[in-house]
Structure 1
């Protein structure tokens, strides 16, 4: 298998904006659950970000609130503290109209607290306590106040009124924590369920598109690459909706909530911290610009690996017979090595742009905040924010980098998913054939080719083909490999349309009829029949509800299949694995004949149907063929000329042209190509030079039936 180690497979590139827009359109199919997830996310983020505000209130209003001015009161209450025969209460806890006595202050000095029996004009500053005197040094000088050091018991008394408020805040924190947990569950469940629904629809659309694609599309794209689009690429898109979307949506909502909280706490510090946002946007842009190049090649190599694995499994018997194991392994290793090389490039990129840069951003942000806070302190006490607000600000700013880390860790998955989504949409954008509903009445089967010329690529493989096949007639197509026999069948099935001439069925041009309607009344038996996983009976009916079980058994009996399938343990319900590999060639062929008979086609194609069957089974099938052909127009592609002696019309093709036509006796009397071919096969033509013809270059295409030479 040849490939380019620097470029992806030859496919067009879907623009990123278009890919994102189409992914958004798919997301709208589950918009209800997506919206519910985002609402749950917003509530959860709000509940989680409430904890720094609770901490701020706990610090400023209670733990540091003891330093607020206290006033003497004559009434004992829960908020009042007894000290040295008097009662004192915080000024913000007096009821309206309640009488206030003298002002006192409780201030912290180091690890101790002191009681000051007079107002303190400038409590902020460098405090010290010695010999019953409190000293507070500020920029304007040093103030002194007589003070008494509080014992632990006395300090606890002053803290006692704060305990109920602290307990209430703790309970409030637990409530918000519970809300956050419930919302996190709801967000995760709804995001993943909606993502699964979106991917289910995407895969259904992709598989339906595969059914619509023309046959020549699969000639140019190996099956393994198609499988990779349906499985690996859609799985990467699923990761986009589950992991990437979850992290980015969470990150965006979280960052938005954090900045709202920061501006509520202190607009100045929040404005300073905004420099992080453009850095993140620039970071993501530069990362994706580099990563897209690598991921495009990685996804392409993965599909090529699938293709070579699929090809190796399909041809395993040939590989072993011709001892090509080492060569095949070397081809796989070369491709796998290139895949690993680009994976390592992505690994290096991710290692460089993950936690390292997040830590750099975090350090820069904290440095800026500390610098600004220090500048505010130097400018004057009026600029200083409270300790609780500073704690909450640092706490919230630290939380900012959690969603940033989550988003950065998903950048690789994001870019890989976008590349995979582009590949999926490229397949969905391929021009296909609409699968039409309904059907048409069974036609008689009078087929006519009128000056038909056809080319797979540039060179014509059929040239000016004209013939008529009447209902009930058997028309045989013979000729060397590449003469155009299978190409005629491909045109009849409308897997391709001719460049010149017309093909009619019962006098109506096939171009005027939907392809599915034409094929509804056609049947085919291939040289190597294809059986699907299931049972013998299901391979006859192909799951068509119109074909009853009785009709299936009748068709199997009419072709004589009951005589050689009855010994199977399951009878007609015997399991069939992929391609029917557990059945003999004769058994598979009989099932294929029964399938054609069950569908009662008006036109029957036999593509070397008895070539791989032993003499005894062939005799059994020949008698069934006479029943199968009755009332049907039958086309037979044959290399064994003895099987077509009874054909009504035999056409000899050479290099895409009909060089002889007639029945067996007429062609034998002419003594031309057919005569020579027949004599050679009968063993009486040792002295006759076989007729050969070099296929034209157009035969390199891969038609639906026959070999790669357009037979």
Structure 2
């Protein structure tokens, strides 16, 4: 896995930092508003509902806080202001479901309480105290609760205010967090795709297309899940937990300290889980990538699979990959089942047990370590602690899967790419010179001391057997690779001093098997270049004679073209690629024996167009049929990476060497069916980006 995945993800998160920060601020406000509920409940219980057991004093004052009972007025002890006259203390105490009025001070209210025949009995660890008392009716009790009602209603009002704030903040947090995540993933996908465009051609020689597609689609989608689901839950969870612990310590520091044991347990759990999950997820993502690659390869080669009856073997290969994928998915399933939120339930029960054992028992025994309101609020807050923990635990599987996928994406982006230089250069003349050029794809040189010059408007033909180095010369000219020795110049300027995109801007190529993109015939000629108008497209197709052949199509130039142009004939595809080259008006034109796959009638049609296409341009032809290069200004005969003969067609025939033998072999058997076969097509079987495009 990529070693700096976390840093890379953080760097991308910073691209939407404003909305992320806004979401986190709203999250924090929402958590604070939500945690206000238990504090309001505590105040309601301790300051109003149970507070009537506090001492009352008879008073002559008036106001909302004064209680009228039995022709006398009373006021709660904590509501007297400085200098206010205090007459006599009385108490209200709860016995069972009833409240008792004691018309005298009570020294100690803890212990067991009982009431019988107008006498209140308090039993505190065997010490019995009796007081004359009176049982209050519901109306008389309400007289004491009446001053509490405004305070209770005020707290209820605040509760609904905080509830409304919490709802609004939750909506805002969810919206901004997800919109931020979408922005980040949009940028990540664009960057990955742009980086793929910058990767050198030889990178794709060893990496199947399906694996690249899997990185751009499946893996970035998993990273999206990381930002939207995982980070949302973890951010929410961590801030919620911080809020809960702050609330616990505010309620009672001893309660907070007791519950801190949960944090190291969760940390250890996450570390242990990820240790196993990362191992499984790495295999899972790799197998998914291999499955995509195999599906892509099978679809492209479906005709070959069926012709050679390889359906059973390819199905078995796919099943083996799929079985391994499922096996590791089941391992992840088992891991998730063992480390599910059941552990959260255990932690929750353990925490409640500890708190109730330590504090609840003391409360029941009358020791009164904390108030009942605090205990209620604490249990409420503690319950809220486990909601975010459950959310985080449920996202652990997605977290690890996303981190593995992110690592795969960033490892692809770490591959060294070619620099992209903005701008362009004026159209060069096209004088090409190879000066003592040697080149190797790996160790062995496939080109050795190649030297030749092609002047503007000249046609240079490259001939030779398979592996002689023809395509390697073209690969160097396009700068798909650079030579280890020697120098290549265009108009006297070394190509390595010029940006690759600038050089290629004025180059065109017509492949033996032309590549057409999904779109229309017109879009395949212009390739979406705005500089090429509709009129230029039509003129290019007219000049190469394509309009005659394509006239039968229902939609003309707007006829849809499917992937690779499989609904068009080889001749139609070739004519479109000719028109494409003509529309772009290149200074240097490369023809990979463009007439090799075309029938005789179509070949005759475009031979004249070829002459128009070559006029004023430096043209390189990879020649398979030697009869088509008789008019070339210069023919280079290659053998094992060296130029063994050079000259015009007539000069080479007169020489009576290798070219003469190749030509006689083709001409002498020309009438035999099936012998019109290319003599050479590739410089190196493992690296032919042009011909294999």
Q: Does the pair score TM above 0.5?
A: yes
Q: Does structure 1 residue 590 correspond to structure 2 residue 578?
A: no
The answer to whether the 8 A contact 2:541-2:579 is kept is yes
1:360 CA drift (Å): 2.1
TM alignment of 1:26-175, pairs within 5 A: 26-74=12-60, 77-139=63-125, 141-175=127-161
Deviation at 1:662, TM superposition (A): 2.4
Q: Write the mapping of 1:142-541 to structure 2, written as runs, cut at 5 A.
A: 142-373=128-359, 381=367, 384-541=369-526
Say yes or no: does 1:564 pair with 2:549. Answer: yes
The SS at the match of 1:113 is strand
CA shift for structure 1 position 509: 1.7
3-state SS, counterpart of residue 516 of structure 2:
coil
- Paired with 1:592 and 1:684, the residues of 2 have a C-alpha distance of 30
More deviation, 217-226/321-330: 321-330
Could you list the per-position Cα deviations for residues 174-217 of structure 1 after superposition, in whole angstroms to 9, with x for gaps in the alignment?
11111000000111111111111111111111111111110011
| Counterpart contact for 1:680–1:686, Cα < 8 Å | no
* Structure 1, 565-574 or 494-503: larger mean CA deviation: 565-574
Measure, in 2, the Cα distance between the counterparts of 1:375 and 1:457.
Answer: 79
Match of 1:632 among 598, 604, 617: 617
* 1:59 aligned counterpart, secondary structure: helix
TM-score, scaled to structure 2: 0.94
- Answer yes or no: is the 8 Å Cα contact 2:111–2:366 preserved in 1: no
Q: 1: CA distance between counterparts of 2:659 and 2:298?
A: 39
Unaligned runs of 5+ residues in structure 2 are none
CA distance in 1, matches of 2:118, 2:65: 27
Equivalents in 2 of 1:286, 1:176: separation in Å?
Answer: 39
Partner of 2:2: 14
**Cα drift, residue 630 of structure 1:** 0.6
Residue number in structure 1 paired with 2:595 = 610
Q: Does the Cα contact within 8 Å between 2:249 and 2:256 map onto a contact in 1?
A: yes
1:392-430 per-position Cα deviation (integer Å, ceiling 9, x unaligned): 011101111111111111112111222122111111111
Q: Deviations over 1:243-288 (max 9, x none)?
A: 1111111111111111111111001111121121122222222222
Quote the offset at 1:577 in angstroms: 2.6
Q: Conserved in 1, the CA contact under 8 Å of 2:633 and 2:648? A: yes
Per the normalisation by structure 1, the TM-score is 0.92
Match in the other structure for 2:650:
665
Q: CA deviation at 1:612?
A: 1.9
Count the aligned residue pairs: 689
CA RMSD between the two structures: 2.4
Q: Tell me the alpha carbon deviations over residues 423-449 of structure 1, each in whole angstroms, 9 at most, x when there is no partner.
A: 111111111111111122222212222
Cα 1:679/1:532, change in 2 over 3 Å: same
Unaligned 5+ segments in structure 1 are 1-12
Which residue matches 1:8? none
Matched residue SS, 1:636: strand
SS at match of 1:699: coil
Task: Sort the Cα spacing of 1:377 and 1:76 in 2 relative to 1 into closer, same or farther, 3 A.
Answer: closer
The CA distance in 2 between the partners of 1:669 and 1:523, in whole Å, is 33
Distance 2:121 2:170 in 1: 52
Bigger drift between 423-432 and 579-588 goes to 579-588
- Tell me the distance in 2 between the aligned counterparts of 1:21 and 1:618: 58
Is residue 655–residue 693 contact of structure 1 (8 Å, CA) maintained in 2? no
Q: CA deviation at 1:564?
A: 1.7
The CA deviation at 1:96 is: 4.7
